[in-house]
Amino acid sequence: MKKKLLNFYNKREEYIKKYFHENIDFTNVFDKYINEKRDNPIMIIGEAPGANEVKLKEPFVGKAGENLNYLISLSGLDRKKDFLITNAFPFRTFNKNKNRTPSASELKIGSKLLEEEIDIVKPSLILLLGNSAIKAFSYIPWAKEVKNLKKCGVYEINNYKIGVCFHPSPLAFNRSDIRKSLEDFFKSIKSFI
């Protein structure tokens, strides 16, 4: 899986450039702990890399990444070994050098890559964090129903366990109700794998 996954990550730019060229930073950002992963890790899907992620070439390393690390610590699992962290759209999207949410058409194209990545990883659990991840995932033909699911629950779709919850962005995390939902959700993850 690991070699196949690295080859896949190195092909994404070529695929995306068939459709989009502007306001995208094509720096390759992926989980740097691939060689330490257990088989069938939990796959966390976020929105898209931001400026911090591009700088370090690793997903979830900014403030949302700090929040995610805290949540992962509540799960009792190890970020390096038990989770593979990726994005709904693989590259940073920006406008006037500020991060922007990927467009619906970008997420639709990104979903084709996401489906291939899932097929390679065969995750024990897929966690969709935030609306962009949920939207991109819903473009996968077998996963359309995911957009109708209640947040912070785990469901079975096409023989995959799918967890749907909020994105741990600073804005969301500052809301006590969202923070509590995320904390409770991550505390329960072990029971689903």
Residue-wise pLDDT for 95-119, tens only, equals 998 999 999 999 999 999 999 999 9
The string of DSSP letters for 103-163 reads PHHHHHHHHHHHHHHHHHH--SEEEEESHHHHHHHHTSGGGGGGGGSPSSEEEEETTEEEE
188 has pLDDT over 90: yes
Average pLDDT taken over every residue of the chain: 95
- The pTM score is 0.95
Q: Residue 3 class from Cβ within 10 Å (0-12 exposed, 13-18 middle, 19+ buried)?
A: exposed
| Predicted pLDDT at 154 | 96
Residue-wise pLDDT for 45-94, tens only, equals 999 999 999 999 999 998 999 999 999 999 999 999 999 999 999 999 99
**Greatest pairwise CA separation for the chain in angstroms:** 43
